[in-house]
Amino acid sequence: MATAFDPGRKFPASVRVSYRADGTAFVEVTAVETGQGLHGALATLSAETPGAARDRVTLSTAETHLAYGARSIGSTGTFSNVAAIHKAALLLCTRLCTRVARDRKSPLYGLPTDRMTIVVGAITGPGNLNEGIAALMARHAARHFAQSATTGRTFGMSSHAEASFGEVFAEVSVDPLTADLRVERMVGAYACGRIVEPSLARSQIIGGMIRGIGQALFEESRVDPRTGRWTNANLAEALIPAQSDIPRIEVAFVPEDDRADHLVGMKGPAEIGVVGPAPAIANALFDATRQRHRSLPLTINARITAMEANGSGPHLSQQRAGPSPDHRPAQYAVGDPA
């Protein structure tokens, strides 16, 4: 097994949230969707605060007229942009509630704003009092209310530490004759704050764990010391795992809603999946062979060298001269008493 840790990094982000008389919300961000699911996550979270239904929120990306745009790097894209969206939406809701409290024609006139709640298309107060946002805006001849906000100027500097955590468990089998290693199973448990899109987050974690398997067993950058150039800068020599190399992978999320420094309670759930698999596989290899490896990747040459260096080890002493009864090489799995 191995642990995983990924610090939360909040980058500067600017957004503009508009609320229209027909009950729709328009959210503008500078971020760009690159296939990681940012658009869906931002749209879902944008619908929470302004009081618009999920299907009535329009998200516009790549709005370069805004001051800052949080990029999709280091598991920070959604994390950073949502903080700005949430701040703008809260400011917008405060403006709407203040307008209602000062409107003599409103049923909520005179009520303190902290006793009002914005639901889908309306502002509600105690005693089943409510004011439709469309009616409010019609009385004030306003086509929309808009609010801009910027967050992350301190790049996450805060009195509260933010991080995602994980545990990774790997089961491997090793052939004592050939030193062939296969990852049989991998399980990861992660605490990544509030999970907005569970299926997307699980897929991202699995993808990260697959990258970790590649880091452990295949991927290696070989550099020519004379020129500083890679000598294997192509897919023919820079090995990556194939589908047959990937075991059964299970992912579990530990319930967590950390709002100490992020009002939405979320964190970055993507790249933490890369961190734990390689050391977990190395530890499983040690458990199976009693050979400790301290560099990556765990190549066949490194495994054979380690086995030869300890030729009197208990595992090598039980090598079979012939094939096993089921015609497969004898294997010792992690935790095997042998």
Domains and CATH numbers, the chain: 10-151 (3.30.365.10), 163-333 (3.30.365.10)
Q: What SS3 state is found at 265?
A: coil
Q: Which amino acid is at 285?
A: L
Three-state DSSP class for 297?
Answer: coil
Phi, psi of 58, rounded to the nearest 5 degrees: -105, 125
**CA–centroid distance for 335 within its chain:** 31
- Residue stretches of the chain with pLDDT short of 70: 21, 23, 35-37, 48-54, 67, 71-75, 120, 141-144, 154-158, 261-263, 310-338
Q: Is 57 in a helix, a strand, or coil?
A: strand
Token pair in block for residue 129: 């009092």
User: Whole-prediction pTM value?
Assistant: 0.75
Distance, in Å, from the CA atom of 335 to the CA atom of 289, rounded to the nearest integer, reads: 10
The predicted pLDDT at position 31 comes to 75
Decide: 38 and 31 in contact? Cβ < 8 Å.
Answer: yes
Binning the chain into helix, strand and coil, the percentages to the nearest 5 are 30, 20, 45
Side-chain-side CA neighbours of residue 296 (13 Å): 17
Q: 197-221: per-residue pLDDT in tens? A: 888 889 989 999 999 999 999 998 8
